[in-house]
Structure 1
């Protein structure tokens, strides 16, 4: 494996936060961006592990028939919709507010059919804090590696203020094996979108466990999840406080 990594993968010893993903460029092609959003459900089902995260981090904290959740940086909203469906199967009405400050994401979501319990807003986590909003759960998927240090601090502080029960930020755990497997998985798929190119850049921008733990404020816990996931978790031991 080490020989293969050296031959086919860039050095992943250190996080390369200077890289810019194509879909983060304001001038990126809109049609390609929308195809990328449309491909996210297939990709996230394979690589993001949100079913496992839901079962281990969210469902055990349900205490009644109705709960609320905000998904920060929701993009096309596929993770948010999946969480609603899983909770419904478990007999819980999960009202999810998906937020993203990128107007292009909001434009894409407007092309989708409505879903019960799903609301989408073009705003930031700070906007919600300023409104005095509160939710039982705060989550994000593949957001942390996009953020500069100051932005990361802001999102984590906002998340604590917004959450009555728990925060779960899920992201990629950087490794050569993750890079090679994602490269192989996407080699003949997702043409006409940014999935392959940006996915490989995302792995290079993402954290190792120790790197994320070093940045995590007091009270936050970094957990690993197979195969290549990091969960940055904050639990409020007095719900609603």
Structure 2
């Protein structure tokens, strides 16, 4: 994949990780290298920001459940655990992914952490109101058009209070930085191909405005965060009859 690419619109091609017929040791290695990339590019920040924002809107409860879909090895949730410790919040996190390799990596990474549970599942099959907050880190850029609207709608359905999306800003600086970094830290085929492509499949403010319009969700907000990421917070709207979903909209 070339370092030079037109980023005026979102890329359409699939990432290697989207092919579930592949996998094995190479994918497991890629998940390890992806954790290094996440650390380099401050990936956990937008998730922590969004969860804290929704938590405050909920009234800062003493206990909180989070369901992270498309979680991979779930490493971004380490910062959530640190946040919960600093706030005295009893936090329970469920990491959900479709691939066996991701679930194995997540289970190994958090084997000594009782607050984290790993589940192999598709977000489309999760029960309604499975957790207080549903998060997705570098997950929704795998979808486009009607499928993107559908997957975010399923995330909302699976949450009691709302959704937090942490995803990549499509920009030449972030694309170049990821292209160079993946080649410096890894020879893994997944990392070198999917890393830059994930930026090319990422979002700009215009894309988030379009998603907000298509969801018809006035309370959805998005904000730019370092390093070239967006934190998107989607509280549940008013329920039928004018009753609030439990979130204060002050």
Report how many aligned residue pairs link the two structures. 231
Is 1:226 equivalent to 2:226 in the alignment?
yes
SS in 2 for 1:15: coil
What's the TM-score, normalizing by structure 2?
0.82
Q: CA deviation at 1:171?
A: 0.7
Q: 1:139 maps to what in 2?
A: 135
1:151-190 pair list within 5 angstroms: 151-190=147-186
Contact persistence 2:3–2:176 (CA under 8 A)? yes
Is 1:59 equivalent to 2:82 in the alignment?
no
Q: 2:5 maps to what in 1?
A: 10
SS in 2 for 1:196: helix
Q: 2:192 maps to what in 1?
A: 196
Moved more, 66-75 or 97-106: 97-106
1:16-95 pair list within 5 angstroms: 16-17=11-12, 19-54=13-48, 56-60=49-53, 61-62=55-56, 63-95=60-92
- Aligned in 2, Cα 1:41/1:82: closer, same or farther, shift over 3 Å? farther
Structure 2 CA distance for aligned equivalents of residues 26 and 53 of structure 1? 26
Contact persistence 2:42–2:227 (CA under 8 A)? no
Contact persistence 2:42–2:226 (CA under 8 A)? no
Per-residue CA deviations over 1:189-215 (Å, capped at 9, x if unaligned) read 123362232111111112222023212
Structure 1 CA distance for aligned equivalents of residues 116 and 37 of structure 2? 21
Structure 1 CA distance for aligned equivalents of residues 129 and 51 of structure 2? 20
Structure 2 CA distance for aligned equivalents of residues 183 and 138 of structure 1? 30
Moved more, 29-38 or 103-112: 103-112
What's the TM-score, normalizing by structure 1?
0.84
Q: 1:124 maps to what in 2?
A: 122
Q: CA deviation at 1:48?
A: 4.6
Structure 2 CA distance for aligned equivalents of residues 91 and 133 of structure 1? 24
Per-residue CA deviations over 1:54-89 (Å, capped at 9, x if unaligned) read 1x3222425132111110111112123432233123
